[in-house]
Amino acid sequence: MYLELKNVSKKIGKADIIKNVNLSMEKGHIYGLWGKNGCGKTMLMRLISGLVFLSDGEILIGGESLGKDISFPRSIGALIESPGFISGYSGFKNLKVLASIQNKISDEEIDIIMKTLGLNPQDKKRVKKYSLGMRQKLGIAAALMEQPDLILLDEPTNALDEHSTKILKELLFEHKKRGALIIISCHIREDLEFLSDEIFCMQEGKMISHYIPSELRKEVEL
Ligand SMILES: Nc1ncnc2c1ncn2[C@@H]1O[C@H](COP(=O)(O)OP(=O)(O)OP(=O)(O)O)[C@@H](O)[C@H]1O
């Protein structure tokens, strides 16, 4: 298994935000996180991304312990809550700044992901003037553009129109096919079930159940 969570807990002050979560996830799969507002989906993604420290337990990524062997996952793309961009730069320039950190991808590759998501790389409009949907698309582009092994997307469709949601679904299937491990949360159950190989259900910081949507579909058909 590429990603393993062992008895993971997160406390903030006296509040138990994540309670003893155990998970195993492998590459080439899409996993859905499901649960009510405030159940801990975002916090779980922040813990996996290395942005927040665990209070207890262990997260293993490719056999390496987060916070011990590595500070951050070695190959990750994440859209968690609202993405931080340089508001005075264009969308393309923002992605170029991010890409320059690892220097792995070309301008052409940035162009392609922007165009795929319906953004114009030549558009000089500053990000501060972007609509919510445009900003979300740029956040998705930033998360996917370097073809990371681990992709975390927290409600990536909440500002997208129907057509853009369809494009994102196609993109995610492509990334799954090349072997990425994708974790996604979404409040539209139909979309989450369409995308996910397995869905994990959370309640009040606990992982309460998991199921395989395709098996559910088979049951309905029988
Ligand atoms: N920095 C913080 N300090 C204290 N409590 C926090 C902090 N961040 C999150 N929480 C609490 O942790 C719980 C889980 O929050 P989280 O954002 O992970 O929920 P969620 O499942 O992503 O919800 P939503 O569906 O609304 O996005 C909530 O009760 C929230 O108030």
Residues 6+ apart with CB under 8 A from 71: 50
If asked whether residues 2 and 71 sit together in one domain, one would say: yes
The pLDDT value given to residue 83: 78
Residue of the nearest CA to atom 12 in ligand 1? 17
If asked whether residues 71 and 176 sit together in one domain, one would say: yes
If asked whether residues 104 and 168 sit together in one domain, one would say: no
- Is the confidence at residue 217, as pLDDT, over 80? no
Tell which of 93, 114, 147 closes a domain: 147
Report how far ligand 1's centroid is from the alpha carbon of 46 (Å).
Answer: 11
Total count of domains within the chain = 2
- Is the confidence at residue 219, as pLDDT, over 90? no
If asked whether residues 53 and 100 sit together in one domain, one would say: no
pLDDT in tens, 118-170: 999 999 999 999 999 999 999 999 999 999 999 999 999 999 999 999 999 99
If asked whether residues 114 and 25 sit together in one domain, one would say: no
Using the atom order of ligand 1, give the atom closest to the CA of residue 205.
14
Distance CA 66, CA 68 (A): 5
Answer whether 35 contacts ligand 1 (Cβ < 6 A): yes
Answer whether 14 contacts ligand 1 (Cβ < 6 A): no
Arithmetic mean of pLDDT, 193-208: 96
- Which tops the pLDDT comparison, 216 or 205? 205
Report how far ligand 1's centroid is from the alpha carbon of 101 (Å).
Answer: 30
Task: Report pTM.
Answer: 0.95
pLDDT in tens, 39-94: 999 999 999 999 999 999 999 999 999 999 999 999 999 999 877 899 999 999 99
Which domain, by its residues, includes 173? 1-75+150-222
Tell which of 130, 147, 164 closes a domain: 147
Characterize the bridge pairing of strands 64-65 and 76-79: unpaired
If asked whether residues 140 and 155 sit together in one domain, one would say: no
- Is the confidence at residue 216, as pLDDT, over 90? no
> Interior CA angle at 181 toward 115 and 6, to 5°?
145
The pLDDT value given to residue 17: 97
- Which of 8, 10, 11, 17, when mutated, tests ligand 1's pocket best, judged by the most ligand atoms within 8 Å of its CB? 17
The pLDDT value given to residue 96: 96
Distance between the two ends of the chain, CA-based, in angstroms? 32
Tell which of 113, 147, 181 closes a domain: 147
The pLDDT value given to residue 220: 61
Q: Which residue has tokens 């979404």?
A: 186
User: pLDDT grade, residue 179 (50/70/90)?
Assistant: very high
Arithmetic mean of pLDDT, 20-33: 97
